[in-house]
Structure 1
Amino acid sequence: LYVIAGSGLDVGFILLSPTGHRLVSDFRRSDGIHTVDPTVDGDYRLCFDNNFSKMSEKMVFFEVVINSLNSKNGGQDDWLDTVMSDSMVDYKMEDIRARMDSVHRHLEKSHQVQAMLRAFEARDRYLLEDNLWRVSFWSCVNLSVMLTVAVVQIYTLRRLFVNTKQVRT
Protein backbone atom coordinates (compact mmCIF):
# COMPACT_ATOMS: atom_id res chain seq x y z
CA LEU A 1 0.00 0.00 0.00
CA TYR A 2 1.37 3.37 -1.00
CA VAL A 3 -0.58 6.65 -1.20
CA ILE A 4 0.68 8.52 -4.25
CA ALA A 5 -1.44 11.68 -4.32
CA GLY A 6 -4.07 13.46 -2.32
CA SER A 7 -4.46 15.69 0.68
CA GLY A 8 -2.39 14.49 3.60
CA LEU A 9 -1.16 11.43 1.70
CA ASP A 10 -2.88 9.08 4.17
CA VAL A 11 -5.67 6.51 3.95
CA GLY A 12 -7.23 3.79 6.10
CA PHE A 13 -6.84 0.14 5.14
CA ILE A 14 -8.63 -3.04 6.21
CA LEU A 15 -8.12 -6.64 5.05
CA LEU A 16 -10.98 -9.04 5.83
CA SER A 17 -10.96 -12.82 5.60
CA PRO A 18 -13.73 -14.72 3.78
CA THR A 19 -15.36 -15.37 7.16
CA GLY A 20 -15.42 -11.64 7.95
CA HIS A 21 -12.58 -11.50 10.49
CA ARG A 22 -10.32 -8.44 10.34
CA LEU A 23 -6.80 -9.63 9.50
CA VAL A 24 -5.02 -6.30 9.00
CA SER A 25 -6.13 -2.80 9.94
CA ASP A 26 -4.31 0.52 9.49
CA PHE A 27 -5.67 4.01 10.07
CA ARG A 28 -4.33 7.12 8.34
CA ARG A 29 -1.16 5.57 6.94
CA SER A 30 0.70 6.66 3.80
CA ASP A 31 2.43 3.34 3.21
CA GLY A 32 2.56 -0.19 4.53
CA ILE A 33 3.57 -3.75 3.72
CA HIS A 34 1.52 -6.58 5.16
CA THR A 35 2.06 -10.33 5.02
CA VAL A 36 -0.89 -12.60 5.72
CA ASP A 37 -0.96 -16.37 5.78
CA PRO A 38 -4.20 -17.50 4.12
CA THR A 39 -5.94 -19.84 6.52
CA VAL A 40 -9.34 -20.01 4.82
CA ASP A 41 -10.08 -20.56 1.14
CA GLY A 42 -12.27 -17.91 -0.42
CA ASP A 43 -12.38 -14.25 -1.39
CA TYR A 44 -10.46 -11.85 0.83
CA ARG A 45 -11.69 -8.25 0.87
CA LEU A 46 -9.54 -5.11 0.74
CA CYS A 47 -11.10 -1.87 1.91
CA PHE A 48 -9.51 1.56 1.60
CA ASP A 49 -11.11 4.16 3.87
CA ASN A 50 -11.04 7.89 3.13
CA ASN A 51 -13.91 8.98 5.41
CA PHE A 52 -11.73 11.28 7.51
CA SER A 53 -11.00 13.53 4.49
CA LYS A 54 -14.18 13.48 2.42
CA MET A 55 -13.32 16.64 0.49
CA SER A 56 -10.12 15.31 -1.11
CA GLU A 57 -9.56 12.31 -3.29
CA LYS A 58 -6.56 10.01 -3.04
CA MET A 59 -4.51 8.03 -5.54
CA VAL A 60 -3.41 4.71 -4.07
CA PHE A 61 -0.97 2.10 -5.37
CA PHE A 62 -1.32 -1.40 -3.99
CA GLU A 63 -0.06 -4.79 -5.05
CA VAL A 64 -1.19 -8.22 -4.00
CA VAL A 65 1.40 -10.98 -4.26
CA ILE A 66 0.16 -14.55 -3.85
CA ASN A 67 2.70 -17.27 -3.18
CA SER A 68 1.14 -20.63 -3.94
CA LEU A 69 2.44 -23.21 -1.49
CA ASN A 70 -0.34 -25.76 -1.98
CA SER A 71 0.96 -27.35 -5.14
CA LYS A 72 4.55 -28.44 -5.58
CA ASN A 73 5.34 -26.11 -8.48
CA GLY A 74 2.15 -24.12 -8.98
CA GLY A 75 1.14 -26.02 -12.14
CA GLN A 76 4.18 -24.85 -14.09
CA ASP A 77 5.64 -28.31 -14.70
CA ASP A 78 3.22 -29.16 -17.52
CA TRP A 79 5.95 -28.36 -20.04
CA LEU A 80 8.25 -30.80 -18.27
CA ASP A 81 5.77 -33.67 -18.72
CA THR A 82 5.41 -33.01 -22.44
CA VAL A 83 9.13 -32.82 -23.27
CA MET A 84 10.34 -35.54 -20.93
CA SER A 85 11.28 -38.71 -22.72
CA ASP A 86 13.05 -41.88 -21.69
CA SER A 87 16.24 -40.89 -23.48
CA MET A 88 16.79 -37.72 -21.41
CA VAL A 89 18.88 -37.85 -18.33
CA ASP A 90 16.79 -37.12 -15.22
CA TYR A 91 19.39 -35.25 -13.25
CA LYS A 92 20.03 -32.83 -16.16
CA MET A 93 16.31 -32.06 -16.43
CA GLU A 94 16.09 -31.46 -12.69
CA ASP A 95 19.06 -29.10 -12.90
CA ILE A 96 17.48 -27.20 -15.80
CA ARG A 97 14.13 -27.07 -13.99
CA ALA A 98 15.75 -25.74 -10.81
CA ARG A 99 17.59 -23.03 -12.74
CA MET A 100 14.45 -22.03 -14.65
CA ASP A 101 12.49 -21.82 -11.40
CA SER A 102 15.24 -19.65 -9.92
CA VAL A 103 15.18 -17.34 -12.96
CA HIS A 104 11.38 -17.15 -12.75
CA ARG A 105 11.48 -16.20 -9.04
CA HIS A 106 14.12 -13.54 -9.70
CA LEU A 107 12.10 -12.09 -12.59
CA GLU A 108 8.96 -11.93 -10.44
CA LYS A 109 10.87 -10.19 -7.66
CA SER A 110 12.38 -7.66 -10.07
CA HIS A 111 8.91 -7.00 -11.50
CA GLN A 112 7.59 -6.28 -8.00
CA VAL A 113 10.50 -3.96 -7.20
CA GLN A 114 10.02 -2.06 -10.46
CA ALA A 115 6.31 -1.61 -9.76
CA MET A 116 7.10 -0.23 -6.31
CA LEU A 117 9.73 2.12 -7.75
CA ARG A 118 7.17 3.37 -10.29
CA ALA A 119 4.81 4.14 -7.40
CA PHE A 120 7.56 6.02 -5.55
CA GLU A 121 8.34 7.99 -8.70
CA ALA A 122 4.66 8.85 -9.24
CA ARG A 123 4.34 10.13 -5.66
CA ASP A 124 7.51 12.19 -5.94
CA ARG A 125 6.37 13.63 -9.27
CA TYR A 126 3.01 14.60 -7.78
CA LEU A 127 4.71 16.35 -4.84
CA LEU A 128 7.12 18.09 -7.20
CA GLU A 129 4.34 19.38 -9.46
CA ASP A 130 2.30 20.54 -6.46
CA ASN A 131 5.29 22.40 -5.02
CA LEU A 132 6.05 23.95 -8.42
CA TRP A 133 2.50 25.30 -8.59
CA ARG A 134 2.79 26.80 -5.10
CA VAL A 135 6.17 28.40 -5.82
CA SER A 136 4.90 29.83 -9.11
CA PHE A 137 1.73 31.22 -7.50
CA TRP A 138 3.52 32.91 -4.61
CA SER A 139 6.22 34.25 -6.94
CA CYS A 140 3.52 35.91 -9.05
CA VAL A 141 1.92 37.38 -5.93
CA ASN A 142 5.32 38.67 -4.76
CA LEU A 143 6.05 40.17 -8.19
CA SER A 144 2.70 41.96 -8.31
CA VAL A 145 3.24 43.39 -4.80
CA MET A 146 6.72 44.61 -5.79
CA LEU A 147 5.38 46.27 -8.97
CA THR A 148 2.59 47.95 -7.00
CA VAL A 149 5.05 49.29 -4.43
CA ALA A 150 7.34 50.58 -7.24
CA VAL A 151 4.45 52.41 -8.93
CA VAL A 152 3.35 53.98 -5.63
CA GLN A 153 6.92 55.13 -4.88
CA ILE A 154 7.34 56.68 -8.33
CA TYR A 155 4.01 58.45 -8.01
CA THR A 156 4.93 59.74 -4.52
CA LEU A 157 8.33 61.03 -5.67
CA ARG A 158 6.84 62.82 -8.67
CA ARG A 159 4.23 64.47 -6.46
CA LEU A 160 7.01 65.80 -4.23
CA PHE A 161 8.69 67.64 -7.09
CA VAL A 162 5.62 68.97 -8.83
CA ASN A 163 5.58 72.72 -8.37
CA THR A 164 2.03 74.05 -8.34
CA LYS A 165 3.05 77.60 -7.36
CA GLN A 166 4.21 79.81 -10.12
CA VAL A 167 7.29 81.88 -9.44
CA ARG A 168 7.25 85.52 -10.65
CA THR A 169 10.42 87.02 -11.69
Structure 2
Amino acid sequence: MPPRGSRGPLPPLLLLWALAACAARASEITFELPDNAKQCFYEEIAQGTKCTLEFQVITGGHYDVDCRLEDPDGIVLYKEMKKQYDSFTFTASRNGTYKFCFSNEFSTFTHKTVYFDFQVGEDPPLFPSENRVTALTQMESACVSIHEALKSVIDYQTHFRLREAQGRSRAEDLNTRVAYWSVGEAIILLVVSIGQVFLLKSFFSDKRTTTTRVGS
Protein backbone atom coordinates (compact mmCIF):
# COMPACT_ATOMS: atom_id res chain seq x y z
CA MET A 1 0.00 0.00 0.00
CA PRO A 2 1.54 3.37 -0.95
CA PRO A 3 2.29 5.82 1.85
CA ARG A 4 -0.37 8.36 2.81
CA GLY A 5 -0.10 11.44 0.62
CA SER A 6 1.60 9.64 -2.29
CA ARG A 7 -0.14 8.55 -5.46
CA GLY A 8 0.02 5.19 -7.12
CA PRO A 9 -0.24 4.60 -10.89
CA LEU A 10 -3.32 5.99 -12.61
CA PRO A 11 -6.10 3.51 -13.43
CA PRO A 12 -6.42 2.80 -17.18
CA LEU A 13 -9.74 4.67 -17.62
CA LEU A 14 -8.50 7.66 -15.63
CA LEU A 15 -5.35 7.68 -17.76
CA LEU A 16 -7.52 7.61 -20.89
CA TRP A 17 -9.59 10.58 -19.70
CA ALA A 18 -6.49 12.53 -18.74
CA LEU A 19 -4.92 12.00 -22.15
CA ALA A 20 -8.16 12.81 -23.95
CA ALA A 21 -8.28 16.14 -22.11
CA CYS A 22 -5.18 17.17 -24.06
CA ALA A 23 -7.04 16.93 -27.35
CA ALA A 24 -7.19 19.65 -29.95
CA ARG A 25 -9.21 22.80 -29.31
CA ALA A 26 -12.79 22.75 -30.53
CA SER A 27 -15.60 25.30 -30.37
CA GLU A 28 -19.10 23.85 -30.57
CA ILE A 29 -21.86 26.44 -30.31
CA THR A 30 -25.56 26.69 -31.10
CA PHE A 31 -26.89 30.24 -31.36
CA GLU A 32 -29.85 32.23 -32.70
CA LEU A 33 -29.31 34.48 -35.70
CA PRO A 34 -32.02 37.17 -36.02
CA ASP A 35 -33.34 38.37 -39.35
CA ASN A 36 -31.22 41.02 -41.10
CA ALA A 37 -28.36 40.13 -38.74
CA LYS A 38 -24.76 38.96 -39.01
CA GLN A 39 -22.73 37.15 -36.36
CA CYS A 40 -18.94 36.75 -36.48
CA PHE A 41 -16.52 34.63 -34.45
CA TYR A 42 -12.75 34.91 -34.09
CA GLU A 43 -10.05 32.32 -33.42
CA GLU A 44 -6.29 32.60 -32.93
CA ILE A 45 -4.61 29.97 -35.10
CA ALA A 46 -0.93 29.15 -35.55
CA GLN A 47 0.60 28.65 -38.97
CA GLY A 48 0.38 25.12 -40.33
CA THR A 49 -2.55 24.13 -38.11
CA LYS A 50 -5.25 22.08 -39.76
CA CYS A 51 -8.77 23.34 -39.02
CA THR A 52 -12.29 22.22 -39.85
CA LEU A 53 -15.45 24.33 -39.85
CA GLU A 54 -18.76 22.48 -39.90
CA PHE A 55 -22.16 24.15 -39.60
CA GLN A 56 -25.85 23.39 -39.96
CA VAL A 57 -29.04 25.46 -39.75
CA ILE A 58 -31.40 23.80 -37.29
CA THR A 59 -34.51 25.98 -37.44
CA GLY A 60 -35.92 28.94 -39.33
CA GLY A 61 -37.21 29.72 -42.80
CA HIS A 62 -35.72 27.53 -45.50
CA TYR A 63 -32.96 26.38 -43.13
CA ASP A 64 -30.26 28.33 -44.99
CA VAL A 65 -27.59 30.86 -44.05
CA ASP A 66 -24.60 32.65 -45.61
CA CYS A 67 -21.15 31.68 -44.34
CA ARG A 68 -17.80 33.40 -44.88
CA LEU A 69 -14.30 32.57 -43.60
CA GLU A 70 -11.36 35.00 -43.78
CA ASP A 71 -7.69 34.79 -42.85
CA PRO A 72 -5.83 37.51 -40.86
CA ASP A 73 -5.18 39.45 -44.11
CA GLY A 74 -8.87 39.51 -45.00
CA ILE A 75 -8.48 36.98 -47.82
CA VAL A 76 -11.64 34.94 -48.25
CA LEU A 77 -10.93 31.24 -47.75
CA TYR A 78 -14.52 30.05 -47.87
CA LYS A 79 -17.77 31.68 -48.95
CA GLU A 80 -21.16 30.09 -49.49
CA MET A 81 -24.60 31.63 -49.91
CA LYS A 82 -27.82 30.18 -48.52
CA LYS A 83 -26.39 26.86 -47.40
CA GLN A 84 -28.27 24.51 -45.10
CA TYR A 85 -25.15 22.70 -43.93
CA ASP A 86 -21.55 22.28 -45.02
CA SER A 87 -18.04 21.37 -43.88
CA PHE A 88 -14.76 23.04 -44.83
CA THR A 89 -11.21 21.99 -43.95
CA PHE A 90 -8.15 24.20 -44.39
CA THR A 91 -4.59 24.63 -43.17
CA ALA A 92 -3.63 28.01 -41.69
CA SER A 93 -1.14 29.77 -43.96
CA ARG A 94 0.03 32.21 -41.29
CA ASN A 95 -0.31 33.10 -37.62
CA GLY A 96 -3.11 35.40 -36.63
CA THR A 97 -6.81 35.81 -35.97
CA TYR A 98 -9.14 34.06 -38.38
CA LYS A 99 -12.72 35.25 -38.71
CA PHE A 100 -15.81 33.34 -39.79
CA CYS A 101 -19.25 34.91 -40.04
CA PHE A 102 -22.81 33.71 -40.46
CA SER A 103 -25.24 36.08 -42.13
CA ASN A 104 -29.03 36.14 -42.24
CA GLU A 105 -29.21 39.55 -43.88
CA PHE A 106 -31.17 38.20 -46.85
CA SER A 107 -34.09 37.28 -44.55
CA THR A 108 -36.55 40.02 -43.66
CA PHE A 109 -38.59 38.41 -40.89
CA THR A 110 -37.31 34.88 -40.14
CA HIS A 111 -34.62 34.23 -37.55
CA LYS A 112 -32.47 31.10 -37.66
CA THR A 113 -30.88 28.74 -35.17
CA VAL A 114 -27.37 27.80 -36.29
CA TYR A 115 -25.00 25.13 -34.99
CA PHE A 116 -21.29 25.11 -35.78
CA ASP A 117 -18.27 23.09 -34.75
CA PHE A 118 -14.86 24.69 -35.32
CA GLN A 119 -11.94 22.32 -34.68
CA VAL A 120 -8.41 23.68 -34.47
CA GLY A 121 -5.64 21.13 -34.82
CA GLU A 122 -5.76 17.37 -34.72
CA ASP A 123 -6.06 15.08 -31.74
CA PRO A 124 -2.63 14.01 -30.48
CA PRO A 125 -2.06 10.26 -30.20
CA LEU A 126 -2.91 8.78 -26.83
CA PHE A 127 0.48 7.13 -26.64
CA PRO A 128 3.14 9.09 -28.56
CA SER A 129 5.61 6.93 -30.44
CA GLU A 130 8.55 9.14 -29.46
CA ASN A 131 11.13 7.54 -27.16
CA ARG A 132 9.31 4.21 -27.31
CA VAL A 133 11.30 1.04 -27.77
CA THR A 134 8.41 -1.40 -27.45
CA ALA A 135 5.07 -1.80 -29.17
CA LEU A 136 1.81 -0.87 -27.52
CA THR A 137 0.67 -3.24 -24.82
CA GLN A 138 -2.71 -4.92 -24.98
CA MET A 139 -4.09 -2.43 -22.44
CA GLU A 140 -2.78 0.54 -24.41
CA SER A 141 -4.20 -0.82 -27.66
CA ALA A 142 -7.56 -1.28 -25.95
CA CYS A 143 -7.43 2.33 -24.69
CA VAL A 144 -6.74 3.59 -28.22
CA SER A 145 -9.66 1.57 -29.61
CA ILE A 146 -11.98 2.84 -26.88
CA HIS A 147 -10.86 6.42 -27.50
CA GLU A 148 -11.59 6.17 -31.24
CA ALA A 149 -14.94 4.52 -30.56
CA LEU A 150 -15.89 7.28 -28.10
CA LYS A 151 -15.07 9.95 -30.68
CA SER A 152 -17.31 8.19 -33.20
CA VAL A 153 -20.10 7.95 -30.63
CA ILE A 154 -19.83 11.69 -29.90
CA ASP A 155 -20.01 12.51 -33.61
CA TYR A 156 -23.06 10.28 -34.10
CA GLN A 157 -24.77 11.73 -31.03
CA THR A 158 -24.21 15.28 -32.27
CA HIS A 159 -25.51 14.36 -35.73
CA PHE A 160 -28.66 12.73 -34.40
CA ARG A 161 -29.29 15.55 -31.90
CA LEU A 162 -29.22 18.03 -34.77
CA ARG A 163 -31.54 15.87 -36.87
CA GLU A 164 -33.90 15.47 -33.92
CA ALA A 165 -33.96 19.24 -33.29
CA GLN A 166 -34.56 19.97 -36.97
CA GLY A 167 -37.31 17.35 -37.19
CA ARG A 168 -38.98 18.69 -34.06
CA SER A 169 -38.90 22.21 -35.47
CA ARG A 170 -40.49 21.05 -38.72
CA ALA A 171 -43.16 19.10 -36.82
CA GLU A 172 -44.00 22.09 -34.60
CA ASP A 173 -44.22 24.36 -37.63
CA LEU A 174 -46.49 21.88 -39.41
CA ASN A 175 -48.63 21.51 -36.29
CA THR A 176 -49.05 25.29 -36.09
CA ARG A 177 -50.10 25.49 -39.74
CA VAL A 178 -52.59 22.64 -39.30
CA ALA A 179 -54.05 24.36 -36.23
CA TYR A 180 -54.50 27.65 -38.11
CA TRP A 181 -56.04 25.81 -41.07
CA SER A 182 -58.45 23.96 -38.76
CA VAL A 183 -59.55 27.22 -37.11
CA GLY A 184 -60.07 28.78 -40.54
CA GLU A 185 -62.15 25.82 -41.70
CA ALA A 186 -64.26 25.98 -38.53
CA ILE A 187 -64.95 29.68 -39.08
CA ILE A 188 -65.87 29.08 -42.74
CA LEU A 189 -68.22 26.22 -41.80
CA LEU A 190 -69.86 28.39 -39.14
CA VAL A 191 -70.41 31.25 -41.58
CA VAL A 192 -71.79 28.91 -44.26
CA SER A 193 -74.12 27.23 -41.75
CA ILE A 194 -75.51 30.56 -40.54
CA GLY A 195 -75.96 31.69 -44.14
CA GLN A 196 -77.87 28.51 -45.01
CA VAL A 197 -80.15 28.96 -42.00
CA PHE A 198 -81.05 32.50 -43.01
CA LEU A 199 -81.50 31.43 -46.64
CA LEU A 200 -83.90 28.61 -45.74
CA LYS A 201 -85.72 30.88 -43.34
CA SER A 202 -86.31 33.38 -46.12
CA PHE A 203 -87.95 30.66 -48.26
CA PHE A 204 -90.60 29.82 -45.64
CA SER A 205 -91.28 33.27 -44.28
CA ASP A 206 -94.74 34.79 -45.05
CA LYS A 207 -94.69 37.54 -47.56
CA ARG A 208 -96.86 40.39 -46.51
CA THR A 209 -98.86 42.08 -49.23
CA THR A 210 -99.77 45.69 -48.93
CA THR A 211 -102.89 47.22 -50.48
CA THR A 212 -103.36 50.82 -51.29
CA ARG A 213 -106.66 52.57 -51.64
CA VAL A 214 -107.21 54.87 -54.51
CA GLY A 215 -109.53 57.67 -53.71
CA SER A 216 -112.58 58.10 -55.91
Give the match for residue 77 of structure 2.
23
User: Is 1:128 aligned to 2:171, yes or no?
Assistant: yes
TM-aligned CA deviation for residue 25 of structure 1: 1.2
Higher normalized helix content (fraction of residues)? 1
Counterpart of 1:8 in 2: which secondary structure? coil
Partner of residue 81, structure 1: none
Give the whole-Å Cα distance in 2 for the aligned partners of 1:162 and 1:12. Answer: 67
User: 3-state SS of the aligned residue for 2:106?
Assistant: helix
Counterpart in the other structure of 1:59:
113
Task: Go from structure 1 to structure 2 and tell me whether the alpha carbon gap of 1:64 and 1:106 turns closer, same or farther (over 3 Å shift).
Answer: farther
Distance in 2 of aligned mates of 1:150 and 1:105 = 67
- Return the offset for 1:62: 1.3
Distance 1:18 1:101 in 2: 36
- How many positions carry a matched residue from both structures? 152
Shift of the alpha carbon at 1:42?
Answer: 4.1
Is 1:154 matched with 2:197?
A: yes
Percent of matched pairs sharing the same residue: 26
**Structure 2 letter corresponding to 1:8:** H
Structure ranking higher in strand proportion: 2
**Structure 2: gaps spanning 5 or more residues:** 1-54, 129-133, 210-216
Residues 126-146 of structure 1, C-alpha deviations (whole Å, 9 max, x = no match):
111111111110111111111
Query: What is the TM-score normalised by the length of structure 1?
Result: 0.77
Q: Which residue of 2 aligns with 1:99?
A: 142
TM-score of the superposed pair, with normalisation by structure 2: 0.61
| Higher mean C-alpha displacement, 55-64 vs 121-130 | 55-64
Provide the rounded CA distance (Å) in 2 between the counterparts of 1:4 and 1:19.
31
Shift of 1:92: 5.8
How far 1:163 sits from its partner (Å)? 1.9
Deviation at 1:23, TM superposition (A): 1.7
CA RMSD of aligned residues (A): 2.6
Is 1:111 paired with 2:165? no
For structure 1, list consecutive stretches of 5 or more residues without a partner in the other structure: 79-89
Matching of residues 7-86 of structure 1 within 5 Å? 7-68=61-122, 73=125, 76-77=126-127
Structure 2 Cα separation of the partners of residues 104 and 149 of structure 1: 67
Shift, 1:66, TM fit = 4.0
Partners of 2:205 and 2:108 in 1: how far apart?
60
Number of the residue aligned with 1:85: none
Counterpart of 1:86 in structure 2 is none
Higher RCO (CA-CA < 8 Å; seq separation 6+): 2
What amino acid is aligned across from residue 133 of structure 1 in structure 2? T
